[in-house]
Structure 1
């Protein structure tokens, strides 16, 4: 198959755009202006369009006739579906990972959690978490993907990555603090501790708590600190 001259730069642009969409660099529904993006990436129109069309095919941006591209606007239903499917996949994968994970996996998980915990400790103390969101979003993925990586199923992990990215896009647009709360650090710690202890029921329970963002009746679940504010 022939490779176009812009193939490498288009792949780089795709990675940068997808990464930015996931951590909130571009908000839900925000127009992606070609000239601004070309200046930012220093790329050709062809390379940029190729990357945007690829993202449109994956459901991350919308291609509007005569209006160009914009970040996709996910509905509440899409968010609920992504949260549910992520929970299903994560619980399935972690069961395999806890059975098959070796000492190398434990060390990698320890390192991933240490890095994530460091960022989240800083975010807990910050009045504005925005400067941390990009690094936090990436480290959150490293932690969860490392946790599940020992499942030894490339197909499961590919599907999980797609669902995780959709979930994160929704979360950064719809949840205050880009999806981070004062409980997030403790939730990750609970998942980590249970995984290292190979305690599957506790680990699955911690994952469900971490991902329980919506009730069945479509109302956002109130985290404890939110309920305390409402009582005040």
Structure 2
């Protein structure tokens, strides 16, 4: 018997699939096909897809239905630039507001991520660790901005982060994994714990700027 998913479970399952290269860029998403997977009506799946379209993970056009966003240089650059700006500001605010509790949570999130990334570095195939890695990656960066005093910044960061990962995590790009990730994440934590705002901003920029396609790296992104 097909499991009957609740709408919140359908949303989360599709969100994960949309950000971990389960669907090819630009591919159609047909409610009539997805309903078989989730054991719900096509209308229920359609409502979930509409919700995902409001956070930029799905595109909808009249007469053409739903599809995943295409992989585009301009879109990746826009998302990367916006993510850098949000993460720099959110991390700086967290560094100033979070105190020892935030530092402890950041250290724990980094330890988990570093463990998984170290394992990935020794593996021949990243796909088995893809979902745990992506979850730990989000956990680290979410923690980094979690003590920001701006709820709007935090919610916007979540939406931009997911859209950024959707563009970045593809088979052709090794699912967004780079060998320098471990050292770059460690540098971000080091700057945060040292309460050095300028170095923290630079460390975040250095970590993400490789994704600015066709642009010259090396200059800090401005704060919002």
- The separation in 2 between residues aligned to 1:221 and 1:175, in whole angstroms, is 22
User: For the residues of structure 1 that align with 2:132 and 2:171, how far apart are their CA atoms?
Assistant: 19
Aligned twin of 1:48:
45
The 5 A counterparts of 1:90-169 are: 90-169=87-166
CA distance in 2, matches of 1:95, 1:153: 12
Distance in 1 (alpha carbons) for counterparts of 2:175 and 2:126: 8
Which of 72, 80, 89 is residue 86 of structure 2 equivalent to?
89
Contact 1:213 1:221 in 2 (8 A): no
State whether residues 35 and 42 of structure 2, in contact with CA within 8 Å, keep that contact through their aligned partners in structure 1: yes
In 2: Cα distance, 1:139 partner to 1:23 partner? 13
Residue 38 of structure 1 corresponds to 35
Q: Greater relative contact order: 1 or 2 (C-alpha under 8 angstroms, separation 6 or more)?
A: 2
Of 199-208 and 137-146, deviating more is: 199-208
Distance, in Å, in 1 between the alignment partners of 2:118 and 2:12 is 28
Name the SS for the 2:25 alignment partner. coil
List runs of 5+ in structure 2 lacking aligned partners.
218-224
Match of 2:7 in 1: 10
TM-score (norm 1): 0.84
